[in-house]
Amino acid sequence: MGLGRRIGINVSVGTRTERYEVFYEDPAFLDPHYSLGLSLFKSERDFTDFDEGRTGGTITLGRRFLRFNRASLTYRLEEVTISNVSAVASSLIQQQVGTSATSSLTLGLNRDPRNSPLDPTRGYRGLATAEGAGGPLDFDNNFYKLELDGSLYHLLVEDWKVVGLLRGAIGFVESFSDTRTVPIQERYF
């Protein structure tokens, strides 16, 4: 669009997974330091013991601060349906049968002093997020999730521009209130 704005459609179709997404991103919403992102999505996934359908959307507001830092706040509303559960599926999966809705807010902090965002040869990128679902945001699922993700880039062979990448991620999720267990779609596998 000439101003860094992006609008698009992502379609991913496979034998076990289908995902459709429409999105809009404006990196300079109202001011060069603010950003806006909107997305709507629908997906179907066939696992070995069950099927999962997701429909929802997100709204993200972000702000750059200092030179390499960015903070964002994302609201997510999502409906998930667990169906076609196998008779031999674990009791955890069998307890999740049906449709549930999640309303959540995620705070993200990103630091990115890489020498190039598109083709980095040195530097690092770090992201920390804290998500809270349910509680005062209502709906069916109550949980909180903390995640850290980091990447380190280093030029290994200058003549061929071979770059090494070391990446690590860790996360923690816990249910609260009347949600007895973390929903299957929010767990780490």
3-state SS, residue 186: helix
Quick check: 153 and 164 in contact, CB under 8 A? yes
Q: Which pair of structure tokens corresponds to residue 89?
A: 């599926």
The pTM score is: 0.91
| CB-based contacts of 87, cutoff 8 Å, min separation 6 | none
Measured in whole angstroms, how far is the alpha carbon of residue 78 from the centre of its chain?
A: 12
Alpha-carbon span 75 to 59, nearest angstrom: 5
Contacts of 168-172 with CB under 8 Å at 24 or more apart are 171/145, 171/146, 171/147, 172/145, 172/146, 172/147
- Please state the φ and ψ torsions of residue 91, each to the nearest 5 degrees: -65, -30
Alpha-carbon span 40 to 98, nearest angstrom: 22
Q: Residues 117-126: pLDDT tens digits?
A: 889 999 999 9
Tokens 């949980």 correspond to 143
Tens of pLDDT, residue by residue, the chain (189 residues): 457 899 999 999 999 999 999 999 999 998 899 999 999 999 999 999 999 999 999 999 999 999 999 999 999 999 999 999 999 999 999 999 999 999 999 999 999 999 998 899 999 999 999 999 999 999 999 999 999 999 999 999 999 999 999 999 999 999 999 888 999 999 998
| DSSP notation for 107-137 | EEEEE---S-SSS-SEEEEEEEEEEEESGGG
Alpha carbon dihedral 24, 81, 130, 38, in 10-degree steps, equals 10
Q: Residues 154-166: pLDDT tens digits?
A: 999 999 999 999 9
Q: What per-residue confidence (pLDDT) applies to 2?
A: 58
Question: DSSP letter at 92?
Answer: H
